[in-house]
Structure 1
Amino acid sequence: MIWLSVMPSFTQLEALYWIDQLGSFERAARKLNTTQSAISKRVQELEKESRAPLFDRSRRSARLTAHGQAVLAVGADILALHDRLRALMKSKDSASRRLRLGVTELTALTWLPRLVAMVRDSDSGIELWPEVESSETLLTRLLDDSVDMIVVPDAFRDPKLEAVQVGQAANAWMCSPHLKVPRGRVALATLNTFTVLTQDNRSGSGRIYRRWFENEGLSFSKTLSSNSLIALLGLTASGLGVSYLPIDAARPLLRSKQLRIVTTEPQLPPIEYVAMRRRARITPAEDFVLACIRRTCNFGSAIYDQAAG
């Protein structure tokens, strides 16, 4: 049971929410464009009305007690309703809203144009604002409320976020035809004799495959990392080493014989992609865009193939 003698104010709940989201009073103050002392005062006023502590004072960082988490769970619903009401009152019609969507390079190179067209041609009144970044950067931006939803590889877990599976991307090992990688089916360990070009830890795919390599007992002795898919395609085509790449994004280079697929045993598993959003602030606009994402998400068709067709 939640013990509060009076109804908390919106500003008090907002302070509690952002302290929990961002991990400190200072960052919450910056987010709310106020002073740290003002945030502290709001929390003190809220705790005066509470019969149990909201924060665990034994920790250096701002951590909620079980009672604080219970208060926040209800408070987050109140904040979400407030946001929906404010958006409704500001808009010319109830569906009008700008939605900030974060995606990675692979989505931008494949199905993002179809999604933008579907949302634009609907009568939803939603204005889609895409943003292209690494998976790790997008996760940070989602948690600090800089974007509303992201589509990333299924490499991250956070209890504050909902993750809905939307599709998968096939990957394969590739190299320049001029690199002397054996033809036919080769063992993964054979690749260790070459420089391995990998996606770094900012990449969701990079994290997933790094864990998979560890499970396979594989450790590469010479690696070169990048968080740019375009850069990895270019570096691999230049003959610098072997790399795991999305098959459809690499298709033009495969057709022109600047790249070839290296068949390995075992083969690379596909990368599952999820749409992520904050559980506490789900909106009808997000529901609509998520439905559009599930209809358009297809990594098997690159934008240059669409243009050619």
Structure 2
Amino acid sequence: MRRLALFHLETLLWIARLGTFRAAAERLNTTQPAISARVREMEEQLGVALFRKEGRGVVLTAKGRELVRDCEPLFAGFERALLKASDFAGATGVVRVGAGEIAAATCLPGFVNAVEQDLPGVSLEIEIDLTARMLQQVQTGRSDLVFLAGPVASPGLVTAPIGAVALVWVASPETAKAGFDAPLPVWTLPTNSPIHGAMRESLAANGMAARGIATCNNVRLLIEIVRGGRGAAVLPEPMVRADLASGALVEVLPRPAREVRFEAAIRAREEDPLILELFRRARTLRI
């Protein structure tokens, strides 16, 4: 009978977190058959079933839950001790990072460069997405660290504010010359975006109406649409700063009173020392 090793416990903890053998295999950069083999080895060694099938996924048995509860802090403490001894210089692994377009265009490049320089054994997998989806991803453990448009209130997350971005009303010079006495043609992000809410608040504050509100979930595409003379939009100032400086876009209304605030977030139950270290670094960022 084979003795259990640390990779067996790591496998157990990731299956428990992600809910399927397939997801754990992806997270650990191995195959689903390899994950299944590790589970069989654990169950044979311990003489108990750790998982039972439920639908397309698996759930822990009572013994499995007990083992996870006992082993999770021990495994995290072991990793923490090793990483602390090397001042994290020997850290290795893959960390999945989620970010919105605004964070990706502002603070994320510097963060990535610092991680690559200080922690060369750590690989970052970055996914650009909307806040609502990133929230779901980090809560289920499919993302490790996310940069969200906030404020975010969730008992399952630990968050840290990292700054705010001003918003501006912009249009092409040709659109601006046409004047805005008539209702505006407006482009914006979807309704679940704080920028959409800021746009509506700003129109109301200026006593204006839109001639129709079209949505697009990609900020860079919105910039191209507005630059092409298709209407006006409320956009993050850092992402149109170069276009404003060059004259490709101009400001057409007073800036919205609301800024978009950003937060870094991880799971409240996160114990992986590497992810905790990256969160410590992320909370020092400023957009």
Calculate the TM-score normalised by the size of structure 2: 0.64
- After superposition, where does 1:28-107 map in structure 2 within 5 Å? 28-32=24-28, 33=30, 34-35=32-33, 37-38=36-37, 41=40, 44=43, 61-63=57-59, 71-85=67-81, 87=83, 93-96=86-89, 97=91, 100=95, 103-107=99-103
Alignment check: 8 A CA contact 1:160 1:280 kept: no
Q: Is the 8 A contact 2:188 2:196 kept in 1?
A: no
Distance 1:42 1:23 in 2: 19
Aligned counterpart, 1:297: 286
The Cα of 1:231 is off from its aligned counterpart by 3.0
Task: Map residues 47-196 of structure 1 onto 2, 5 A cutoff.
Answer: 61-63=57-59, 71-85=67-81, 87=83, 93-96=86-89, 97=91, 100=95, 103-112=99-108, 115=111, 125-127=118-120, 133-136=127-130, 149-154=145-150, 161-179=157-175, 180=178, 182=180, 190-191=183-184, 194-196=185-187
State the shift of 1:178 in Å. Answer: 1.9
Q: Which secondary structure state, in structure 2, belongs to the residue aligned with residue 95 of structure 1?
A: coil
Using a 3 Å threshold, how does the CA distance of structure 1 residues 26 and 105 change in structure 2: closer, same or farther?
closer
Cα distance per residue 1:238-272 (max 9 Å; x no partner): 1122222111321222233322334379x363222
Q: Which runs of 5+ in 1 are unaligned?
A: 1-7, 299-309
The AA in structure 2 aligned to 1:28 is A
Q: Deviations over 1:180-223 (max 9, x none)?
A: 4527xx9xxx44xx25243x69xxxx634457789999999552
Classify 1:213/1:243 alpha carbon distance in 2 versus 1 (closer, same or farther; 3 Å): closer
Q: 1:263 to 1:45 in 2, by over 3 A?
A: farther
Q: Is the 8 A contact 1:174 1:244 kept in 2?
A: yes
Q: TM-score, normalised by structure 1?
A: 0.61
Aligned partner of 1:235 in structure 2 is 225
Q: How does 1:255-266 map to 2 (within 5 A)?
A: 255-263=245-253
Name 1:223's counterpart in structure 2.
Answer: 214
C-alpha RMSD of the superposition: 4.8
1:251 and 2:247 equivalent? no
Structure 1 equivalent of residue 265 of structure 2 = 276
* Unaligned segments of structure 2, at least 5 residues: none
Structure with the higher strand share, 1 or 2: 2
Q: Identity of counterpart residues, as a percentage?
A: 22
Aligned residue type for 1:271: V
Distance 2:115 2:157 in 1: 23
The one-letter code matched in structure 1 to 2:193 is R
- Is the 1:80–1:280 contact (alpha carbons within 8 Å) kept by the matching residues of 2? no
CA distance in 1, matches of 2:98, 2:222: 21
C-alpha separation between the residues in 2 aligned to 1:182 and 1:60?
A: 55
Amino acid paired to 2:88: A
Q: Distance in 2 between matches of 1:143 and 1:46?
A: 32
8 Å Cα contact 1:154-1:272 kept in structure 2: yes
1:163 maps to a residue whose letter is T
Partner Cα separation in structure 1 for residue 253 and residue 246 of structure 2: 19
Letter in 2 for 1:109: A
**Residues of 1 paired with 2:65 and 2:201: CA distance?**
36
